[in-house]
Amino acid sequence: MADSGSVPARRCGSGSVSSVSMDTISALTELEDLENIYQQLCSEEKEVEAELDRLVGQESTIHTKMLALQRMGPKLQLIEGDASQLSGMITFTCSLAENVSRKVRQLDLAKTRLYNVIQRADDILDLKFCTDGVQTALRNEDYEQAAAHIHRYLSLDQSVIELSRQGEESSSVDASLVLLQEAEQKLKVIVSEKLDEAVAAVDLAQVERFFKIFPLLGLHQQGLARFGQYLCTQLAAKAEENLILATGGDVGDKRAPLIFADTLTLLLEGIARVIETHQPIVETYYGPGHLYTLIRHLQEECDKQAQKIVDKFIQQRGYHNKFQIVQNSMLKTIPELDPVLTEVTIMNARAELYLRFLRRRILADFEVGDIQSITKEHQQNVEKLLKHCQLSRTMQELIGYYIPMEEYYMRESVNKAVTMDTYEKGQLTSSMVDDCFYIVKKCISRALSSSSIDCLCAMINHANSVLESDFREVLYNKLRQGFPATTLQDIQRGVSSAVSLMQSSLQQGKFNTLGIESTENAKTAFLNDCAKLFTQGTSSVEQAKIESCLSDLVNTSTKFKDLLQEGLTELNTTAIKPQVKPWISSFLSISHNIEEEEFNDYEANDPWVQQLIVNLEQLMCEFKVALSPVIYDTLTSLMTSLISIELEKTVLKCSFSRLGGLQFDKELRSLVAYLTTVTTWTIRDKFARLTQMATILNLERVTEILDYWGPNSGPLTWRLTPAEVRQVLALRIDFRSEDIKRLRL
Partner 1 sequence: MSMEDYDYLFKIVLIGNAGVGKTCLVRRFTQGLFPPGQGATIGVDFMIKTVEIKGEKVKLQIWDTAGQERFRSITQSYYRSANALILTYDITCEDSFRCLPEWLREIEQYANNQVVTILVGENIRHNFFLLVISCALYVWSRNLILVLVGNKIDLADKREVHRQRAEDFAEAQSMLYLETSAKESDNVEKLFLDLACELIREAKQNKLDNNDTAPMPGEGKTISYLSCCNVN
- Residues lying near partner 1 in the complex (CB under 8 A): 383-384, 387-388, 392-393, 396-397, 399-404, 407, 452-455, 457-459, 461-462, 464-465, 469-470, 473, 480, 484-485, 541, 544-545, 548, 552, 558-559, 561-563, 565-566, 570
* Spatial separation of the C-alpha atoms in residues 142 and 399, rounded to whole Å: 54
SS3 readout for 287-345: CCCCHHHHHHHHHHHHHHHHHHHHHHHHHHHCHHHHHHHHHHCCCCCCCCCHHHHHHHH
Would you call 110 exposed, middle or buried from its count of C-beta atoms within 10 A (0-12, 13-18, 19+)?
exposed
Residue 399 CB, shortest distance to partner 1, in Å, is 8
**164 or 464, CB closer to partner 1?**
464
Residue 480 CB, shortest distance to partner 1, in Å, is 6
Residue 397 CB, shortest distance to partner 1, in Å, is 5
Amino acid at 610: Q
**113 or 559, CB closer to partner 1?**
559
**199 or 463, CB closer to partner 1?**
463
Residue 263 CB, shortest distance to partner 1, in Å, is 22
Which one, of 244, 391, 386, 246, lies nearest residue 306 by Cα? 391
Which one, of 406, 410, 414, lies nearest residue 473 by Cα? 414
**103 or 387, CB closer to partner 1?**
387
Cβ distance 449 to 261 under 8 Å? Answer: no
SS3 readout for 555-591: HHHHHHHHHHHHHHHHHHHHHHHHHHHHHHHHHHHCC
- Check residue 466 and report its DSSP letter: I
Dihedral pair phi/psi, residue 656, rounded to 5°: -130, 145
**400 or 582, CB closer to partner 1?**
400
Cβ distance 578 to 491 under 8 Å? Answer: yes
* Spatial separation of the C-alpha atoms in residues 654 and 593, rounded to whole Å: 9
**102 or 384, CB closer to partner 1?**
384
Give bridge partners of residue 732 from the DSSP assignment.
656
Amino acid at 77: Q
**323 or 632, CB closer to partner 1?**
323
Would you call 715 exposed, middle or buried from its count of C-beta atoms within 10 A (0-12, 13-18, 19+)?
exposed
Residue 443 CB, shortest distance to partner 1, in Å, is 12
**486 or 677, CB closer to partner 1?**
486
Residue 567 CB, shortest distance to partner 1, in Å, is 9
Residue 465 CB, shortest distance to partner 1, in Å, is 5
Spacing of C-alpha 140 from chain mean position: 65
Residue 475 CB, shortest distance to partner 1, in Å, is 13
Residue 396 CB, shortest distance to partner 1, in Å, is 5
**518 or 695, CB closer to partner 1?**
518
Please give the angle made by the CA atoms of 206, 211 and 214, to the nearest 5 degrees.
135
